[in-house]
Structure 1
Amino acid sequence: MTEALVLQSDFGVSDGAVSAMYGVAHSINPNIRIFDLTHDIPPFHIWEASYRLVQTVPYWTEQTVFVSVVDPGVGSNRKSVVARTHANQYVITPDNGTLTHLWQAGLLAEVRELDDKTHRLPRMGESYTFHGRDIFAFTGARLSSHDITFEEVGPLIPLDEIALLDRTPATRDEDAVEGIVEILDIRFGNVWTNIPVQLVRQAGVDIGHRVIITISFRERTVYEQTLSFGRSFADVPVGSGVVYINSLDQIAIALNQGSFAHAFDIGIGNDWKVRLQQI
């Protein structure tokens, strides 16, 4: 049986890069089942690649193989790795921080260094700039087709030795919680934080309450308003702001039928702090 092969990259689909990865996979197994997570990760944006994995991986079946290629260090001495989750899915990626969110969510069971001198497209040639095609898609197709086992990809490496991004956890201070802008819900412009709803409830805040939301960038306040904590966008008038629980059970902020991120020019990462305080 062929397992699902799920691809993610920052390549876009305006040229032949993604299609070449498909071609390599089909050359390994003409019956392979390939799916796209996304190829619209902003160029070189490892943080977003890491987040999209934790947003997606838990909802796929056992033995699914993910290939994630956001690789600004391609051709350097950075490692290539294959991670196994506790649910026995596999993630093939550069060891550059892409596994951060999966690791911090407690989803990774073990990681092996991919021996890319052995596991590489035979006709790779002399190029060192397209490991997504020549190493990652090649290995992903072989793993998903059971041509190789996880144990054969390379030696185990300690989990605490993989590269991790600097990611500030959410905290609670009596009647307030603080976190970061984790990601943007790109199409709709909603702002997703890393604040779990359980932490908010520990601070005495729940749906139906009014809360003060403060968003700052490098200690400079860029937004501060009192908003309703609603179940969904429709709990407030069109154009109004609302706090809600997103699909990963974390706190998010939106404008009903508008883009909160665009309206207030919000970015993502540790420099973007979000504070939610009970009134």
Structure 2
Amino acid sequence: MIAFFTDWGNDSYYVGVCKAVMKTINKNAEIIDVLHDTRKFDPKINAHILYRFSKDFPEGTIFLSVIDAGVGSSRKPIILKAKKRNFYFVAPDNGLLTLVAEEYGIDKLIEINNEKYYFRKRYSTTFHGRDIFSPVAAYLSKGVPIEEFGSEINTINLFRYKAPEIKNDAIEGEIIFFDTFGNVQTNIPAELGETLFKKDDEIMIHFENKKFKAYYERVFSDVLPGELLIHPESSGYLEIAINQGNAKEFLELSSEGVEVVLRKETY
């Protein structure tokens, strides 16, 4: 199975062409379009998204992930074979694989430089998705050993982020992305929330010298329409949301990467 993830959008031919390349190489390849309308050019945000959806895929999945503003530059095209779940990640080495590398471990890293497995000998400098990444994913799905694709390397680029932690009876973390409903996704694991908060607790949300009151709940309808809540979302992290509203707009958040503190209100 190939899980296909890009920032190309669905209003161009790029996704379709890459799927055609994969099918040309392996007509039996099962290709799942995970997401193509995501934050463009941003490997950090998309690293969190990649890790979250990867958890729901079966063992042995090949993740073809092309968020690649540096296409054609000195950044490497790579394959990461994970220690856990026999996952393969085909991607640019620009930090996009930070979280999957940390969470699943690295069994082997390969720089893709064997042009035998490129789609074209005269490959495009701006469309490695078609000419390098897609054919490599397809050949992997046919059982070609990872060592065939190029040279083994020892390290990849990783980005820094605010690791979640409990500090002074509060949870500190980071706002990492917003979904299509305007729900605010944090990198705080739900189990960390469970250590300090219980249902119906009033929680103060602190960020950028602002603070807002929310309720710690399980589902949106635990609060009235228009009220703010914090709850464990489906991939196991704390989400800040508004019942039938847009939390991003309500909190006046303009960008991701903001540090956030959640503290139980006491009286």
Q: TM tier, shorter chain?
A: over 0.9
1:207-222 superposed matches below 5 A:
207-216=199-208, 221=209
- 2:218 corresponds in structure 1 to 231
When normalised by structure 1's length, the TM-score is 0.89
1:1-279 superposed matches below 5 A:
4-85=1-82, 86-104=84-102, 106-146=103-143, 148-158=144-154, 161-184=155-178, 186-202=179-195, 204-216=196-208, 221=209, 223-270=210-257, 272-279=258-265
Query: Percent identity between the aligned chains?
Result: 30
- What's the secondary structure of 2:238's corresponding residue? strand
Matched positions, count: 264
Give, in angstroms, the shift of residue 124 of structure 1: 4.5
Task: Say if 1:79 and 1:95, in contact at 8 Å, map to a contact too.
Answer: yes
Give, in angstroms, the shift of residue 232 of structure 1: 0.9
- What's the secondary structure of 2:175's corresponding residue? strand
Task: Say if 2:177 and 2:185, in contact at 8 Å, map to a contact too.
Answer: yes
Deviation per residue, 1:144-199 (Å, 9 max, x gap)? 122x11232233333xx210112110121131111110221x22111111112333
- What's the secondary structure of 2:112's corresponding residue? coil
Give, in angstroms, the shift of residue 119 of structure 1: 4.6
- Amino acid in the other structure paired with 1:137: S
- Amino acid in the other structure paired with 1:277: R
Give, in angstroms, the shift of residue 267 of structure 1: 4.3
After superposition, the Cα gap between the structure-2 partners of 1:207 and 1:23, relative to the gap in structure 1 and judged at 3 Å, is same
When normalised by structure 2's length, the TM-score is 0.92
- What's the secondary structure of 2:130's corresponding residue? helix
- Amino acid in the other structure paired with 2:44: W
Distance 2:59 2:4 in 1: 16
Distance 1:122 1:41 in 2: 26
Give, in angstroms, the shift of residue 113 of structure 1: 2.2
Deviation per residue, 1:120-162 (Å, 9 max, x gap)? 434352521110000000000010122x11232233333xx21
Distance 1:114 1:193 in 2: 32
Distance 1:265 1:170 in 2: 22
Give, in angstroms, the shift of residue 242 of structure 1: 0.7
What stretches of structure 1 move > 6 A for 4+ residues in a row?
Answer: none
Give, in angstroms, the shift of residue 253 of structure 1: 0.8
Task: Say if 1:167 and 1:269, in contact at 8 Å, map to a contact too.
Answer: no
Task: Say if 1:197 and 1:250, in contact at 8 Å, map to a contact too.
Answer: yes
Give, in angstroms, the shift of residue 265 of structure 1: 2.9
- What's the secondary structure of 1:59's corresponding residue? coil
Structure 1 vs Structure 2 CA RMSD: 1.7
- Amino acid in the other structure paired with 1:56: F
After superposition, the Cα gap between the structure-2 partners of 1:109 and 1:127, relative to the gap in structure 1 and judged at 3 Å, is closer
- What's the secondary structure of 2:158's corresponding residue? coil
Structure 2: segments with no counterpart, 5+ residues: none
- What's the secondary structure of 1:242's corresponding residue? strand
Task: Say if 1:83 and 1:108, in contact at 8 Å, map to a contact too.
Answer: no
Give, in angstroms, the shift of residue 18 of structure 1: 0.8
- Amino acid in the other structure paired with 1:178: E
Distance 1:226 1:40 in 2: 32
Task: Say if 2:110 and 2:147, in contact at 8 Å, map to a contact too.
Answer: no
Distance 1:28 1:236 in 2: 52
Task: Say if 2:62 and 2:88, in contact at 8 Å, map to a contact too.
Answer: yes
